[in-house]
Structure 1
Amino acid sequence: MIAPKRRILVIKLGALGDFILATGPFSAIRAAHPHDEIVLLTTAPFAQLGRDCDLFDEVWIDERPTRINLIAIQRLRRRLRGGRFTRVYDLQTSGRSAWYFRLMRGFGRPQWSGVAFGASHPHANHNRNNMHTIERQADQLAMAGIPETPFPDLSWLTSDISRFGLPDRFALLIPGGAAHRPEKRWPAASYREIAGSISDRGVLPLVIGGPDEFDLAAEIAANGVAKSIAGDTSFADIAEMSRHAAGAVGNDTGPMHIAAICGCPSVVLFSKASNPDITAPRGDDVTILQRYNLADLGVSEVAAALTLR
């Protein structure tokens, strides 16, 4: 007799770096539930990544309703309860996802892996907030009965980047980051100077970023040494470029996680605003440089740390 498929929910809402680091846990969950139906609950910017990784049967987009939007809350509650889930892996482990746990309470509440009060499979590690995301999520899954979590794998995230007309040797500059966290950004003038150092080594500095970082990228490329393609790249483009780039320099921001995991020699710049022991990109060739104030980080130190392959 064939056992009925169970319904599994995975919650990972963002942000980009966190989503990328969760691809290892995604694979572990799929391996643990090879014949079950797995649904990913995420936010709109990452829905296509969830579809393209081919680990989920469905991808749901979370509207992230406020607690005063009663109509949206009722819609979300009906969807969560109507999903008939037998287990939930909460990889967001935030106040919002704990709230979703409460929305699902009542008869037929699923098993829950996470930190929500009352979870059937709590991540009961008092040191969890001091662990790097990769080790923390692996530990959470181990406590839920999944003993092995692989390193994140982005081999499925591919793109044809020929349209950019790039030379054989180019390096990525990733100067952006959350607009509301300017303290996490190395100054544009420093990026412009490191672009000159990279160019002197016979490599084209290529500035990438989101549409909201167009002006920042243009400022860095204003002297004609670097080329800006800010606003023109998808996540898949960044992954493909990272596989071919000579190296990458960037702030503590999501695209640097892509670059590092794809094997690009990466120098990642941290300020006092975040702890690299917890959030640093991981990969085969990653160097972390940190200053309390990133404006105090010299270009010569970054240039010395950057290995161009």
Structure 2
Amino acid sequence: MAASERILIVGPSWVGDMVMAQSLFKVLRQQYSDAAIDVLAPAWSRPITERMPEVAASIDMPVGHGKVMLKARWQLARSLAKHNYSRAYVLPNSLKSALIPAFAGIPVRVGWRGEMRYGLLNDIRKLDPIRYPLMVQRFTALAYAPGAYLPKPPEPRLVAQQDSVESLRERYGVNLKKPVLSLCPGAEFGPAKQWPAPHYAEVAKQMIARGWQVWIFGSAKDQPVAAEIAQLLATDAPVVSLAGKTTLADAIDLMSLSSAAVSNDSGLMHIAAALGLPLVGVYGSTSPGFTPPLGDAVATASLTLDCQPCFARECPLGHKRCLHDLPPAAVLAQLDRLLADNKGSVIESNMSSAQ
């Protein structure tokens, strides 16, 4: 592939999926070392793709999720046609997501069959969910010939913009005088993925007693649960709630300063893992057998009830036992193991930034 050629990726619409998509970008970089990889995705994802060294350009999708808007798609496609893309990989399974690469006349258009996209995709694959149980495998398999051996996908790794970290610490009033435990208690998908606030508070209490501080991350929707966690701790506890206060870009760069993280199965969980943090991911209605965190120092905590995983947004049985019955001690045990295995290297590295 010539150096002037480009690859277009039509990216997913969820934070976690976008992080996992980096594994595909890494494989394509291995296969086509001289090609530029551009990612077409919702504008909110730009802070993620801009922290992926494999991505040459981030292109904002001008059409909202679920909207067709053929004229807008056609106009963008004609603009993209000027870049002479040689290949396109369409990660969402919707028919709409395959329109722009087809309109742009990209010669090779690869994706899973999805919503009957014959004609829009010309390298269309039939997914075998047993062969590819993980989402990251489904992404990276598109880079190989159908039926080819699939090696272990490379792990995502986001590169925080460290040159802005000092100004961020001042802006949000945080410091690194103590090691930081990041908590991510929200879940955009729904409450069936949210570990109870008192459980998070108990983890925070135990870590604070060991000399740590706690930063709570999330969106504006997560401010109530963040406030509840803080209220369950002592009034002078070193806890900072950043939920709803940061941009996604700032959250990524600030979280990179952490020494460890505990998170629900959420986009922030995948970001924490991709930042290389020791991370415990808590699972309720979903399964680590489909979208596990990908990193060198990650663990998951979940029960094995007959009713899980149900993949529902809200508990169909109304009790959320998969989360309520998962004790803080189980998560702390996983976290302790990760920190012991890590031998404090992350803590020492991030604490040195406070000097």
Give the TM-score taking structure 2 as reference length: 0.73
Contact 2:52 2:157 in 1 (8 A): no
How do residues 1-309 of structure 1 correspond to structure 2 at under 5 angstroms? 5-65=4-64, 69-79=69-79, 84-100=84-100, 103=103, 108-116=105-113, 117-118=117-118, 119-127=121-129, 130-143=132-145, 150-155=154-159, 157-158=161-162, 159-161=164-166, 162-163=169-170, 164-178=174-188, 180-222=189-231, 223=233, 224=235, 225=237, 226-235=239-248, 237-272=250-285, 274-291=286-303, 292=308, 293=320, 294-307=323-336, 308=339, 309=344
Contact 1:26 1:55 in 2 (8 A): yes
User: 52-61 or 207-216: which moved more?
Assistant: 52-61
Q: 1:249 to 1:48 in 2, by over 3 A?
A: closer
Identity %: 27
Name the amino acid aligned to 2:282. Answer: L
Q: 1:244 to 1:48 in 2, by over 3 A?
A: closer
Q: 1:88 to 1:305 in 2, by over 3 A?
A: same
Deviation, structure 1 residue 83: 5.1
Deviations 1:237-260 (A, max 9, x none): 544555543321110011111222
Name the amino acid aligned to 1:193. Answer: E
Deviation, structure 1 residue 124: 4.1
Q: How many Å separate the matches in 2 of 1:115 and 1:25?
A: 14
Q: How many residues align?
A: 303
Deviations 1:191-250 (A, max 9, x none): 222221222222112211123322321221124333212234454554455554332111
Q: How many Å separate the matches in 2 of 1:26 and 1:260?
A: 17
Structure 2: stretches of 5+ with no match in the other structure: 309-319, 345-355
Name the amino acid aligned to 1:283. Answer: G
Structure 1: stretches of 5+ with no match in the other structure: none
Contact 2:89 2:142 in 1 (8 A): no
